[in-house]
Amino acid sequence: MYFWNIARLKMDLVANKLTTLCDLKYLIATMALLSLSATYSESSNLFDYLSTLVDICVLTFGTWFCYQVNGGTIGKDFLRRYLSISWVVGIRLIVFALPIVVATYLLIDFAGFDVLESATLLDVGVTLSFSSFFYWRVFVHMKQVQLTDEKQAEFNK
């Protein structure tokens, strides 16, 4: 994995030396960096940082498991499959989860508990729950694509 030497990276790309494992490393690094870009303020607390750490861990392991179910180093079209399936699963999750999250926080506020600007253990739990659910669904769909692909390959023999 290159961090600085763009000339060498371009030479390896032209020579087709990067593998799907390299793709996976770049993808995880990019997504982890995006997770770290969360904006913290003076009211940020331990739970804000814990939520980010949980998100990075789930992202890393979830993406790794999806890579493995796709066939690992001998799998095909990992990024194409992963990104397109993740997009659809993500849109679906937003549509179904947003009302649940809003209702939960409104219920907590209505019950008289303070909904704080900084994160709480509840926020960490919500992050863990939804991130885990997201990667589980992506994994299931990628497994179905992989199994269908294997059946198709057997049929074509």
Q: Using CA atoms, how far apart are residues 58 and 56, in angstroms rounded to an integer?
A: 6
* Alpha-carbon gap, residue 91 to 138, rounded angstroms: 12
pLDDT per residue of the chain (157 residues) written in tens, 0 to 9 = 888 878 888 888 778 788 888 888 888 888 887 777 677 777 788 888 888 889 889 999 999 999 999 999 998 888 888 988 888 898 898 899 889 888 987 888 888 877 666 678 888 888 899 899 999 999 999 999 988 888 887 888 7
Contact 27, 79 (CB under 8 A): yes
**Domain-by-domain residue ranges, the chain?**
6-156
In a 10 Å sphere around its CB, with 0-12 CB exposed, 13-18 middle and 19+ buried, how is residue 53 labelled? middle
**Three-class SS state of 78:** helix
Q: Does residue 3 contact residue 22 with C-beta atoms inside 8 Å?
A: no
Lookup result for tokens 């549509």: 95
The pTM is what?
A: 0.76
How far is the C-alpha of 59 from the C-alpha of 74, rounded, in Å? 22
Q: For residue 137, which of 94, 77, 104, 99 has the smallest C-alpha distance?
A: 94
41: tokens are: 């303020």
Residue with tokens 């861990």: 57
Report the C-alpha gap between 8 and 97 in whole angstroms: 43
- DSSP state letter for 40: -
